[in-house]
Amino acid sequence: MNLMMLLEMAASSFPERIAVQNGEDRLTFAELFSAAGVAAEEIARSGAKHAAVLDVSSLALPVGLFAAAWAGVPFVPLNYRLTDAELDQLLGQIEPAYLITDSERAPTLGSRAGATVIAREDFLARSRGGAGRETTWPMEPEDIAILLFTSGTTGPPKAAVLRQKHVVSYILGAVEFGAAAESDAALVSVPPYHIAGISALASSIYSGRRIVQLPNFDAETWIALARREGVTYAFVVPTMLQRIVDVLEGSASADLPHLRAISYGGGKMPLPVIERAMRLLPDTTFTNAYGLTETSATLTVLGPDDHRAAAGSPDPAVRRRLTSVGRPLPTVEIEIRDEEGKPVAAGVRGEICARGEQVSGEYLGKGTRVGSDGFFPTRDGGWLDEEGYLFLEGRIDDIIVRGGENMSPGEIEDVLLEHEAVADVAVVGVPDEQWGEAVAAVVVLAPGHEPDPEALREFVRQRLRSSRAPERIEFRDELPYNETGKLLRREVRAWLEDAAAAP
Amino acid sequence: MAQLKAGTRIQSAVCATEVMVIQAPEGEVDLRCGGAPMLEIGAEKSGDPVDPAAAAGTQIGKRYVDADGTIELLCTKPGEGGLALGDTALVLKEAKPLPASD
C-alpha cells in the first residue's frame, strides 16, 4: 500500500483534469504525478529521512506529500505558526530532513546542518521541470506515510504516526474512485498541518476532484472563490462556518449556486451557527465529521439526511442530534467505556474508543495506545444515544480546542507562572460562540502586584502563539485543589461560568 | 500464485490488469486473471491470449470479491481478463455511497 498508488490510478484515468490549483497556478493529474517523481528523486538524493513542509497551502503541498510517499520517507507538515524555539525542537526530531518552506524562512533555516532546505518556488520549478522517475515506490503497508505533531497535555509535542496502511485504508473505505464529475471542485482552507487538510487532498485525488486551495482563510475571499471557481464541496472548521454565515447574512445575496455540500469538523459546532447556515444555504447539504489525527481523520459522520431529519423533527431527542457527530463509518467501530475500560450503556458518558484499519493511535518513539482488542482510547469524552448517534463531551485531558486548534492548558500555565506577578494560575477552556472554546486564566497574584491582564496576555504572546493568550483573565486569592494537590479544573470552570452569568 | 499478502500488488499474466490485495485467505491461493495464474509485479508476462471464457474485464477503482467474502481485490490497472479464484469468477463489490467528509 502506498499513497502514490492512489495518485497513479487517478493520473492514468484522467491525466488532463486539473488536480489542484492555487490562484492562477495549477497542476493536472499527469503533471502532479510527474512532479512527484522528480521531487522524490531529489529527496532520495539528499539522503533525508523525512520530507517536511513548513508553509501555507501551495502546490508544493501535494507534490511534497506524494513525493515523500514515492521516496519512501514520512511526510511531515509543520505548523507555520510555531515559534523558532518550538520549531527547532521539532526539526531536531526529524533530521536529516528535506524541508520545503517559504522564501523568507528558507535562508535562515538553510544554515541547519541536518536539513536540506528549499524555497517553495524553487521546489516547484525544479519538480515541474524534470522528466519524472523510473524507480517505483515501496508498497510496504507498515511504512510511515505521515507524521503530524500534536500538542500533548504535558511535555513537548508528540508526533502521531500514520502508516501507509492507515491512510490508504481510510481513503479506500471512505471514497469511491473517480466518482467526481469533471466540473466538481473542493475548496480546501484548512492548514496543511491539520489532518483534515491532508485527508482532503488524498480523498480529492482519489475521487478525481479538483482541489482549490485557499492558503489564508477569510470569509469574503472564501465566498468569492467558491463563486468564481464553481466550488461544489468544502470542508470548514466551525469558526470558519461562523464567519461565512456572518458575511452571507450581511450581504445582498447568500447565493452559492454550485456549492452542493459542506462538511465540518475539528471542534464543537454551536447549534445557532449550523441552524443559520442551513437556512441561508437551503440547496447545500451539511455533513459533520468527527475524527482525530491518530485515526487518519473521520470516524463518524452526521450526514445530510441526518441534518434534515434532526432540524425538522418535533421530537427533542431527534432534534438534539444536530449537535451530535453522527454515526461511525461502516469501517469503524465506536465504543464508550468507563474508567475501568468496560463498555457502558447508551446514554452513559465515558471515553470514546475507536477501532478500524485507519486507526493508528501510535506516537513516534512512544509506541501505540491501541489496546490488545484493537480499540484506541481517544481521551475524548462522549456518549451514544439509543440509535448510536455520538455526542461529544469535551476532552478528557482538559485540552482547550480553540477554532480547531488544540492547546494544552499546562503549556500556557507554565508560561504565566514565569511572570513575576503570578503566584499561581489555572487555565481552562470556556464556551465561546466564535471559537468553540476560548482560553481563560484564573490568576493568584504574588504579593505587592496589581492586576494587569493586558501585561499577562502580552507575556504569553511573546512566548507562545498569540492564540494561546487568554481572552479572559480573572483574579482570585487562591485556587481549588483536592487533598492530593490536584487542581480542580471543573471548579475553576464553574467559577468562570458563574462570573459570566452574573449581571 | 503462492500466498497473498494484504497491501501488495499483483498482475495478470495475459492482460494489463493489476490489483492490490485488500484481503486474502491464508495459505496457497489459486488466483487467476484472463484464465491464467496471476504473477508478482515485475515478473514476465506469458504473452498468451486472454481465455475467451474468462474475459469479463476489470475496471479501475472497483473491488472484486468471492461469494464467501474470503478474498477482496482492488483493481489498480484495468485489463481485458476477468478475475477468478480457481474456476469461480470474482464479482464486483457494490460500493455504498457515503457523504463526503473531507
pLDDT of A184 reads 97
Distance from the Cα of B59 to chain A's closest Cα (Å) equals: 11
| Residue B9 to residue A139, Cβ atoms within 8 A | yes
Contacts of A394 (CB under 8 A, 6+ apart): A268, A380, A381, A429
- From A177, A235, A297, residue closest to B60, measured CB to CB: A177
β-partners of residue A233 are A186, A261
Contacts of A260 in chain B (CB under 8 A): none
Q: How far is CA A349 from the centre of its chain?
A: 25
- Give domain status of residue B102, yes or no: no
**Predicted confidence (pLDDT) per residue in A298-318, tens digit:** 999 999 999 999 998 999 889
| Residue A141 to residue B102, Cβ atoms within 8 A | no
Residue A349 has pLDDT above 90, yes or no: no
Q: How confident is the model at residue A321 (pLDDT cuts 50, 70, 90)?
A: very high
Contacts of A199 in chain B (CB under 8 A): 102
pLDDT of A11 reads 97
- Give domain status of residue B99, yes or no: no
Distance from the Cα of A133 to chain B's closest Cα (Å) equals: 17
In total, the C-beta contacts within 8 angstroms joining chain A to chain B are: 71
**Predicted confidence (pLDDT) per residue in A231-240, tens digit:** 999 999 888 9
Report d(CA A221, CA A493) in Å as an integer.
Answer: 36
Contacts of B74 in chain A (CB under 8 A): 172
Instruction: Give me the architecture of the A332-395 domain, per CATH.
Output: Roll (2.30)
Contacts of A298 in chain B (CB under 8 A): 101-102
- From B7, B77, B101, residue closest to A174, measured CB to CB: B101
Residue to mutate among A9, A142, A201, with most B CBs inside 10 A, is: A9
pLDDT of A154 reads 44
pLDDT of A183 reads 95
Q: Kindly write down the DSSP assignment for every residue of A123-157, as one continuous string.
A: HHHHHHHS---SSPPP--TTSEEEEEEE--SSSS-
**Predicted confidence (pLDDT) per residue in A458-484, tens digit:** 999 999 888 899 999 999 999 987 644
- From B61, B76, B101, residue closest to A289, measured CB to CB: B101
- Give domain status of residue B100, yes or no: no
**Predicted confidence (pLDDT) per residue in A75-99, tens digit:** 999 988 888 888 898 999 999 999 9
For the segment A140-153, the average pLDDT, to the nearest whole number, is: 83
Q: Which domain holds residue B32?
A: 9-92
Residue B1 has pLDDT above 60, yes or no: no
- From A140, A203, A303, residue closest to B102, measured CB to CB: A203
Q: Is A164 touching B (CB cutoff 8 A)?
A: yes
For the segment A428-450, the average pLDDT, to the nearest whole number, is: 93
pLDDT of A152 reads 43
Kindly list the domain boundaries of chain A, sorted by start residue: 332-395, 400-501
Residue A248 has pLDDT above 90, yes or no: yes
Identify the CATH number of the domain defined by range A400-501. Answer: 3.30.300.30
Q: How confident is the model at residue A166 (pLDDT cuts 50, 70, 90)?
A: very high
Q: Which of A205-214, A263-272, B60-69 has the lowest average pLDDT?
A: A263-272
Find out whether A338 and A350 touch, Cβ atoms under 8 Å: yes
Residue to mutate among A5, A134, A188, A293, with most B CBs inside 10 A, is: A5
Q: How confident is the model at residue A502 (pLDDT cuts 50, 70, 90)?
A: low
**Predicted confidence (pLDDT) per residue in B9-30, tens digit:** 999 999 999 999 999 988 889 9
Report d(CA A27, CA A399) in Å as an integer.
Answer: 39
Q: Is A298 touching B (CB cutoff 8 A)?
A: yes
Residue A455 has pLDDT above 70, yes or no: yes
- Give domain status of residue B28, yes or no: yes
pLDDT of A489 reads 80
Find out whether A133 and A41 touch, Cβ atoms under 8 Å: yes
**Predicted confidence (pLDDT) per residue in A357-366, tens digit:** 999 999 998 8
- Give domain status of residue B1, yes or no: no
More confident call, A101 vs A502: A101
Q: What is the mean pLDDT of chain A?
A: 91
Contacts of A278 (CB under 8 A, 6+ apart): A286, A307, A311
Contacts of B65 (CB under 8 A, 6+ apart): B71, B72, B73, B90, B91, B93
Which among A399, A354, A366 is positioned nearest to A166, based on CA atoms?
Answer: A354
Contacts of B97 in chain A (CB under 8 A): 176
For the segment B32-49, the average pLDDT, to the nearest whole number, is: 92
Angle, CA of A261, A265 and A271, to the nearest 5° = 85
- From B8, B76, B102, residue closest to A200, measured CB to CB: B102
Q: How confident is the model at residue A486 (pLDDT cuts 50, 70, 90)?
A: low
Full strand arrangement of the beta sheet holding B18-23: B39-40, B9-11, B18-23, B72-77, B63-65, B91-92
Contacts of A289 in chain B (CB under 8 A): 101-102
Find out whether B90 and B44 touch, Cβ atoms under 8 Å: no
For the segment A108-120, the average pLDDT, to the nearest whole number, is: 91
Kindly report the pTM of this predicted structure: 0.83
Contacts of B8 in chain A (CB under 8 A): 139
- Give domain status of residue B4, yes or no: no
For residue A211, the chain B residue with the least C-alpha distance is B102
pLDDT of A268 reads 66
Report d(CA A204, CA A179) in Å as an integer.
Answer: 10
Which among A265, A384, A280 is positioned nearest to A334, based on CA atoms?
Answer: A384
Q: How confident is the model at residue B92 (pLDDT cuts 50, 70, 90)?
A: very high
Q: Is A10 touching B (CB cutoff 8 A)?
A: no
| Residue B76 to residue A8, Cβ atoms within 8 A | yes
Residue A395 has pLDDT above 80, yes or no: no
Report d(CA A187, CA A323) in Å as an integer.
Answer: 24
For residue B98, the chain A residue with the least C-alpha distance is A174
Contacts of B98 in chain A (CB under 8 A): 174, 301, 303, 329-330
